[in-house]
Amino acid sequence: MHKISKKEIPLPTLARLLSVYRLLDQYEQEKVASVSSTEIGARLGIKPDSIRKDVSYLGEVGNFGGGYEVVRLKAHIGTKLDLERGRKLCVIGLGPLGSAILNDADLRKRGFVIVAGFDSNINKIETITSSVELHPAHEIAEVVRRKSIDIGVIAVPGKAAQEAANRLVEGGVKGIINFTSCAVRTAPGVMVRTIDFLGECALLSTLMGLEDSGTNLKKL
Amino acid sequence: MHKISKKEIPLPTLARLLSVYRLLDQYEQEKVASVSSTEIGARLGIKPDSIRKDVSYLGEVGNFGGGYEVVRLKAHIGTKLDLERGRKLCVIGLGPLGSAILNDADLRKRGFVIVAGFDSNINKIETITSSVELHPAHEIAEVVRRKSIDIGVIAVPGKAAQEAANRLVEGGVKGIINFTSCAVRTAPGVMVRTIDFLGECALLSTLMGLEDSGTNLKKL
DNA sequence: TAATGTGAATCGTTTCACAGCG
DNA sequence: CGCTGTGAAACGATTCACATTA
């Protein structure tokens, strides 16, 4: 089987494929047998064309005239993208946000397990009740290495983000989720995704303030 | 002055401009007088070319040969994009995530004020301690309208997201931040930004699993 | 007939390269 | 001379249109 590479599949396509996969999981539980690109698109707010092209990056799998078999398409995407693999995460920063993530039940359902939490404040480590092992921040690199943690989630104040990232990279993580508004630099090969709530608020607010300038109506 | 419209400024540019603005704020506090596109870019992980083009969407403001005056550029961006305007937010869903957002101090610093919180569980409303007014979920539309809330933050379980969005739109919000993995549909004119932690984890994990296929080295 | 799969056209963004200015 | 500002070229993703097939 041909192993897919980053180069041959656009990032937006990958992101959409993942949400299609989740949707298919729902359909599967609801015992739906088959769906069309139109139905999937309507449900996800994506054009059917796009769904079809996205799916076709992974090879043919649909039934001409009869849409996609739910089980088959799900398996197809899952296999090609190796989605059922588990990942070990850790959370750095145990403020309200970090604590919320620690106890997030949805992660587990998708194969993500949080195996450690860190904070520079020793009090918090002793106070917080959680099923996850908690450690002081200076042990990040060591624990990440020892437990072979794949992904680090940074939930510290902005100023401490780069330092946290450095320790994670030192420990050998291959991916980082950064909840800070601050850009973090890492070694090549370590992927970073930033989730910037404040930034999204600002973007939304700005968009709301700009002129619409002309109708968006294409056809009447 | 020419009022900028959504059509004439690309979304990615807008997002970058907002982070430039935040960076300038920092520089201003550090009493830095001027910066070049190269410095800004290095700090933000963006190419200098891009910074210059982004800035130039708003008109000329730099000093040829001498970079940008921090104060002037900040004012320029701030004015053109009307960034100092305040916005009223509300949070729907007072689980760990929603509660974390309620107490987020950074929002205030940027002109965002949370003026209401909602949950369908009456117990939570009575239990949670917060400076924000809390209401049962069935009052969403009414309170949003009465307080002229601009933005609704959805922090409920996925299944309840669409319903929450409907109530927000009914109340007249102009923007929604959706922390759910589920797509929400709204009336035209109401902007939605989705922050999907689980999705980001999945995307990161998948990217980590794909082949790099060939070096990325352009020049040696 | 009702859907998929896909080259080709289109659209939008980024990058390039250099003219212009202090 | 250094750095901005900007048309033009390159790139990447989306949309279109239609041939294809159960």
- Distance CA A49 to C1' D18 in A: 13
Q: What pLDDT is attached to residue B7? A: 77
> Would the Cβ of B218 be found within 7 angstroms of any atom in strand D?
no
pLDDT tens track for B71-94: 999 999 999 999 999 999 999 999
Of B3, B5, B204, the CB nearest to A193: B204
Smallest CA–CA distance from A9 into chain B, residue: B210
**Do the Cβ atoms of A207 and B14 come within 8 Å?**
yes
- E-only strand ranges, chain A: 34-35, 68-69, 87-92, 112-119, 134-136, 151-154, 175-178, 191-194
Q: Which residues contact A21 (CB under 8 A, 6 or more apart)?
A: A74, A77, A78, A81, A83
> Would the Cβ of B56 be found within 7 angstroms of any atom in strand C?
no
Q: What pLDDT is attached to residue A215? A: 40
**Do the Cβ atoms of B183 and A22 come within 8 Å?**
no
Tell me how long chain B is.
Answer: 220
* Contact list, A9 vs chain B (CB under 8 Å): 210
Q: What pLDDT is attached to residue B199? A: 97
Whether the predicted pLDDT of B179 surpasses 90: yes
pLDDT tens track for B5-64: 877 899 999 999 999 999 999 999 999 999 999 999 999 999 999 999 999 999 989 999
Smallest CA–CA distance from B189 into chain A, residue: A208
pLDDT tens track for B56-69: 999 989 999 899 99
- Nucleotides in chain C near protein beta carbons (<7 Å): 1-7, 12-17, 20-22
Whole-angstrom distance, CA of residue A95 vs CA of residue A100: 8
* Contact list, A99 vs chain B (CB under 8 Å): 96, 100
* b/e map B9-22, b = 16+ CB within 10 Å: beeebbbbbbbbbb
Residue B108 Cα to chain centre, angstroms: 13
Helix (H, G, I), strand (E, B) or coil at A183: coil
* Contact list, A97 vs chain B (CB under 8 Å): 97, 100
Question: Worst-scoring range by mean pLDDT, A157-166, B37-46, B136-145, B207-216?
Answer: B207-216
- pLDDT band of B214, cuts 50, 70, 90: very low
Could you tell me if A14 and B207 are in contact, meaning their C-beta atoms sit under 8 angstroms apart?
yes
Whether the predicted pLDDT of B2 surpasses 90: no
Query: Tens of pLDDT along chain A (220 residues)?
Result: 567 887 789 999 999 999 999 999 999 999 999 999 999 999 999 999 999 999 999 999 999 999 999 999 999 999 999 999 999 999 999 999 999 999 999 999 999 999 999 999 999 999 998 999 999 999 999 999 999 999 999 999 999 999 999 999 999 999 999 999 999 999 999 999 999 999 999 999 999 998 675 443 333 2
The one-letter code for the residue type at B96 is P
> Would the Cβ of A55 be found within 7 angstroms of any atom in strand C?
yes
Smallest CA–CA distance from A89 into chain B, residue: B201
* Contact list, A80 vs chain B (CB under 8 Å): none
Smallest CA–CA distance from A158 into chain B, residue: B106
Q: What pLDDT is attached to residue A218? A: 34
Nucleotide with minimal C1' distance from the CA of B66 is D3
**Helices and strands of chain B, counted as H and E runs:** 10, 8
Whole-angstrom distance, CA of residue A181 vs CA of residue A194: 8
Average pLDDT, chain B: 93
- E-only strand ranges, B13-131: 34-35, 68-69, 87-92, 112-119
Nucleotide with minimal C1' distance from the CA of B40 is D3
Q: What pLDDT is attached to residue A52? A: 98
* b/e map A171-198, b = 16+ CB within 10 Å: bebbbbbbbbbbbbebeeebbbbbbbbb
Using CB atoms within 10 A of its CB, is residue A126 exposed (0-12), middle (13-18) or buried (19+)? exposed
Going from the C-alpha of A185 to that of each of A119, A151, A188, A189, B209, the distances in angstroms are: 21, 15, 9, 11, 21
User: In terms of C-beta distances under 8 Å and separation of at least 24 residues, what long-range contacts does B189-196 make, across chains too?
Assistant: B191/A204, B191/A207, B191/A208, B192/B165, B193/A200, B193/A203, B193/A204, B195/A195, B195/A197, B195/A200
Helix (H, G, I), strand (E, B) or coil at B138: helix
Q: What pLDDT is attached to residue A219? A: 31
Of B44, B193, B206, the CB nearest to A83: B206
More confident residue, B215 or A65: A65
Q: Which two tokens stand for residue B73?
A: 């550029």
Rounded to the nearest 10 degrees, what angle do helices B197-209 and A11-29 cross at? 110
**Do the Cβ atoms of B15 and A177 come within 8 Å?**
no
Cα-based angle B3, B50, A202 (whole degrees, multiple of 5): 50
Whether the predicted pLDDT of B219 surpasses 50: no
- Enumerate the β-bridge partners of residue B35: B68
Q: What pLDDT is attached to residue A1? A: 57
Query: Which residue's entry shows tokens 């005239």?
Result: A65
pLDDT tens track for A60-98: 999 999 999 999 999 999 999 999 999 999 999 999 999
Of B18, B89, B200, the CB nearest to A202: B18
The helix (run of H) or strand (run of E) holding residue B191 is strand B191-194
Q: Which residue is nearest to nucleotide C21 (CA to C1')?
A: B64
Q: What pLDDT is attached to residue A2? A: 63
**Do the Cβ atoms of B199 and A15 come within 8 Å?**
yes
Q: Compute, in degrees rounded to 10, the torsion defined by CA atoms A50, A54, A56, A58.
A: 180
Q: Which two tokens stand for residue B2?
A: 């020419």
Q: Which residues contact B169 (CB under 8 A, 6 or more apart)?
A: B176, B186, B187, B190
- Distance CA A103 to C1' D17 in A: 49
Could you tell me if B178 and B184 are in contact, meaning their C-beta atoms sit under 8 angstroms apart?
yes
User: In terms of C-beta distances under 8 Å and separation of at least 24 residues, what long-range contacts does A36-39 make, across chains too?
Assistant: A36/A67, A36/A68, A37/A62, A37/A67, A37/A68, A39/A67
* b/e map A50-75, b = 16+ CB within 10 Å: bbbebbeebeeebeeeebbbbeebbe
- pLDDT band of B210, cuts 50, 70, 90: confident
- Enumerate the β-bridge partners of residue B118: B92, B135
Q: What pLDDT is attached to residue B217? A: 34
